[in-house]
A and B are shown apart, each in its own frame.
Chain A
Amino acid sequence: MVTTNLTRRGVIQTGAAAGAGLALPTILTAGSHAGFTNAPTGSTVTLGFNVPQTGAYADEGADELRAYELAVEHLNGGGDGGMLSTFSSKSLNGTGILGKKVEYVTGDTQTKPDAARASARSMIEKDGAIMITGGSSSGVAVAVQSLCQEAGIIFMAGLTHSNDTTGKDKKANGFRHFFNSYMSGAALAPILASNYGTDRKAYHLTADYNWGYTTEEAVRTSTEAMGWETVAAVKTPLAQTDFSSYIAPVLGSGADVLVLNHYGGNMVNSLTSAVQFGLRAAEANGKNFEIVVPLYSRLMAKGAGKNVAGIFGSTNWHWSLENVAGSKYAGSNAFVQSFGTKYGFPPSQAAHTVYCQTLLYADAVQRAGSFNPCAVAEALEGFEFDGLGNGPTVYRAADHQCIKDVLVVKGKENPENDFDLLEIVDVTPAEAVTYDPAIFGGDLGSCNPGA
């Protein structure tokens, strides 16, 4: 016969003791992590690069990844140091971040918000990434930014141009170096007025999603303010490939300017159709018919080939900036030299913005003396810097949007090679593209350290 001395009180006491024992390491670890998600404990720190590796923006994602690898190399003291030598903040010294060697993991956003969130979540939960960065679409940026806010991770956005990322969907843990639709409109309008006059009638074709809406609104507001009239604005499905039925009626609509609020494949196809239908050579209202592409990228221009010749647009950065506009944009040449030597071709604007974001994050950690997201956010808010290729820039505290000069570019008439597709027409100063952060609504909320 087996007898036991089990009592209800004994079980509760033993259970409580065992529970406390099991919880102790967690409590101690949390303490040593100073209470934030994925606090690095060893000699390394892991960054999560979430870029489109498959799908329509895979080439842009590949260029982002090259820039990230270069940034990691420079942070760890390798290569020629790139923009570390021109960056106005001198806290980074090539020994990693806070003395920890920088390592990275990559995820594939597929340019789909769900897939991007899943890959970001995996990098945070399985790989212990302390910061997530990347992306080539605003839908992805907004989705991943929201996830990072919930997880207590800093999100350094990649290529995202919608006003919403740092407007109505802004988050305390999210930061954007790239410019936005509003800034494109504000930069383009004066150039369009001086080149095409103030008496113009515009026809907008707009991609039927978030970025398209904000870009159309920004360009309409800016151009109407200087006297242009908007004849029509037609939404086009994001999945549209043949734009002929949207382009064909433009010439008979009374418009004399076509604004293509399209990006990526949409822009390549709609611009190709517009040129095929003779819009570049046409006359309307006694004027030459003109086409405008508010957001340009060199990779996109390459896809459209000769069709971009003479067409105005805006861009966040271009590899020739320092040569064309002078030493105010110091850092551009250093980055081009570093990237070009390693990979054999100049970097895209997507590569530039993600390289800057990586350095800005590392620098903020270094200045804050902590990986705690709230300390990092505080170090980034209101941070004024220079030497990263865009001239003097400020990370605005109110919406976490970088305020800096914006480039107006034009497709080159006679490019000499695949990289020489855009020419810089003007650089609009930051003051002219600055806006009240309250106009887009939204609420940053408070920083979430996670854990």
Chain B
Amino acid sequence: MDQIILQILNGLDKGSAYALIALGLTLIFGTLGVVNFAHGALFMIGAFCAVTLSRILSLSHVVLDETKKDFLGKPLKVEVPYANDWFGPELGGAIIDWAVPLSILFAIPVMILIGVIMERGLIKHFYKRPHADQILVTFGLAIVLQEIIKYYFGANQIPTPAPEAFVGSFDFGALIGLDSGKVIYPYWRILYFCFAMLLIGLVFAFLQFTTFGMVVRAGMADRETVGMLGINIDRRFTIMFGIAAAVAGLAGVMYTPINPPNYHMGMDFLVISFVVVVVGGMGSLPGAVLAGLLLGILESFASVREVIEFLPGINQVVIYLAAIVILLTRPRGLMGRKGVMED
């Protein structure tokens, strides 16, 4: 029982990252009709927003410690963060410690700006081109963005830990009446899931309950008619691209304490996220979220030792097998609409 609960928690946590990326992909596809293979790179850039802010907050000056020697036998250079000088060791240390949550504020404008530049500068020129062209250009863009990040930050992973307050695990088993210590789950991963649900809720609320969202939804349904009513739908769609980039970026920011980021992390998620979009139904926002969570849970259960022993290799293919089964039984995906990408 405890293993089942653990794997469900795992699946929800993993699936929430898939859902956030797939949500952004679906937003872009639903509004602009573009298949954006650079979306994984936006997730990765979001993570590097956290790395960048962490480095900015940790900017230091060097103090020589004559009592200790460095690897060359010279006095040890000790780096003292400016934050410690300005705010004192306690507050300065706390600011650095909270770099990842603070990066949310930093990443939102940065990611919206990157999204808008990307859409206006490159992707808008491919609206009327075949999907194959869009895939090629966005995939190329993803590689360029990856290489830029690698050039500045290197190929190795960069540890970007969660604040001390979130280090450690929560005894989930004790909460639901199981033996203590049987189902423990890291605080940060629980926070990640809650954050993802909040973000998804905000995006849905924005589209459902604001005038801007209403116009966007109308544009998604019938772009020409909305345009004929004198509404600049292109500008709104550009903003939606920026919002989708911000969603991917925030998913990346919050992911950094789970796995130290490197330049390649976006590609690791991209393929699965596309499977999620297709399984959920092209253009369906609730479908993307549902499929993300379901496939995350499925992947977690397929990684259990007993399952691997019974079906060797299942952990590597389960998502794709599930996609085949779902598409054979529901060709438009779980919540796909008729007419989307069927021309």
Contacts and interface: CB of A to CB of B under 8 A. Distances in A.
Interface of B: 2-3, 6-7, 9-11, 13-14, 68, 70-72, 76-79, 150, 154-159, 161, 168-169, 181-182, 184-186, 188-189, 258-260, 262, 264-265, 268, 299-301, 303-305, 308, 315-316
Contacts of A245: 7, 10-11, 14, 299-301, 303-304
A13 interface: no
A239 B319 CA distance: 14
A304 B169 CA distance: 18
B14 A244 contact: yes
17 contacts: A56-B155, A235-B308, A245-B303, A246-B303, A248-B3, A249-B3, A251-B181, A251-B184, A265-B157, A269-B260, A278-B168, A278-B169, A305-B260, A319-B71, A320-B71, A417-B77, A417-B79
Given A56-B262, A241-B259, A276-B258, A252 B182 contact: yes
Given A239-B268, A244-B189, A278-B169, A57 B155 contact: yes
Interface in A280-316: 281-282, 299-300, 302-307
Contacts of B189: 244, 276
A336 B71 contact: yes
A315 to B, nearest CB: 16
Contacts of B301: 245
A336 to B, nearest CB: 6
Interface of A: 54-59, 232, 234-235, 237, 239, 241-242, 244-246, 248-249, 251-253, 265, 268-269, 272-273, 276-278, 281-282, 299-300, 302-307, 319-320, 336-337, 340-341, 345-346, 416-417, 419
A249 B304 contact: yes
A416 B63 CA distance: 13
Contacts of A58: 150, 154-155
B260 A248 contact: no
B155 A234 contact: no
A242 B156 CA distance: 16
A416 B79 CA distance: 10
A302 B11 CA distance: 29
B76 A416 contact: yes
A249 B6 contact: yes
Contact of B68 (A237, A305, A345, A416): A416
Contacts of A337: 72
B137 to A, nearest CB: 21
Given A232-B305, A235-B308, A246-B303, A340 B157 contact: no
Given A56-B155, A269-B259, A278-B169, 6 more contacts: A58-B155, A242-B258, A248-B3, A303-B158, A305-B159, A345-B71
B110 to A, nearest CB: 24
The SS class assigned to the B binding surface is mixed
Given A57-B155, A272-B259, A278-B168, A252 B76 contact: no
B316 A303 contact: no
The 4 closest A-B pairs by CB, nearest first: A305-B159, A58-B155, A303-B157, A245-B303
A244 B72 contact: no
A268 B300 CA distance: 20
A249 B161 contact: no
Nearest to B301: A245
Contacts of B7: 245, 248
B268 A241 contact: yes
Nearest to A265: B157
Given A272-B259, A303-B157, A248 B6 contact: yes
Most buried by A among B9, B13, B157, B161: B157
A309 to B, nearest CB: 12
A234 B14 contact: no
B71 A242 contact: no
B157 A268 contact: yes
Nearest to A231: B305
Nearest to A418: B79
Contacts of B185: 248, 277
Given A244-B14, A245-B300, A248-B6, A237 B72 contact: no
Nearest to A319: B71
Given A239-B268, A304-B159, A306-B159, A340 B168 contact: no
Contacts of B258: 242, 272-273, 276
Nearest to A308: B159
A268 B305 contact: no
B71 A346 contact: yes
A282 B183 CA distance: 12
Contacts of A239: 268
